[in-house]
Structure 1
């Protein structure tokens, strides 16, 4: 058989591959999200469908008219980018369909840790840290945001200010003390 009729793999661009973007949801759990996180993902989805995808389709259509597609960089890159956009659209659509939007501001004034809380805690050495507990799809560790399924969030959930909780780490179990719990103000 001629090599022209075989499909070469270009490094994970299979149609069913969702890519390494985000971890899967735990089995049987809900995809909790804040209203802001839901809005950002929905805006990204709409931008991909209404703006980016039509521009790439137009570029691929133009490039296809330019002759030999096998050596046409614009065509090949455009088709690859189109697959990436379609993959992201499928991913976002699935995640938004199962999203459970939870407004953390309903807990404003509470000293107990729930989804959406910003928690300041101290470890055994007295070093203080602060994290905000958010959904899997919206947490960003660079901004001190952790997913509600992360070990630190699971240790902190349902604790109150002043409680000492146990946190399992690769180096063993550590104790941390909850110093402060805050929620966004109601809109």
Structure 2
């Protein structure tokens, strides 16, 4: 994560906390990032060095002025003035991290081969919440390359219970046994 992204996010969070608009800014920032993701052409224009800063600011003004919190709007203007538009995603990710910490939340991304039932999701969510003492925001994804089992990405932790990993460990153990038999190890 970029240092600049963290600094901008921290400054925005401090103001948001003072003004008691942390949730509002988070939701609006999330909407902006979704919009830029869905409208790649707009995002590319905002990133282009050949596009004048005044033109970029005019675009943002037409879309967001009066539609989003003034502090978030001002952040967008500062980001454009400082030619930091490429850091906007990092700023958002840092703000989201601060928001999650403040609200005792953590993301859990679960990868399985087959879709999980609602009961399985609820049970896993409850176990993860018990483990972390935080509210877990659970998302699931299907990936048949893991062969079976599941991988849980919980904040900055990885819990890999996939068959693919177990086979890889077994393969390494078998190599070690073979090397020991040959007297190499």
Q: Do the structures match in fold with TM over 0.5?
A: no
Higher strand share: 1
State the TM-score, normalized to the length of structure 1. 0.23
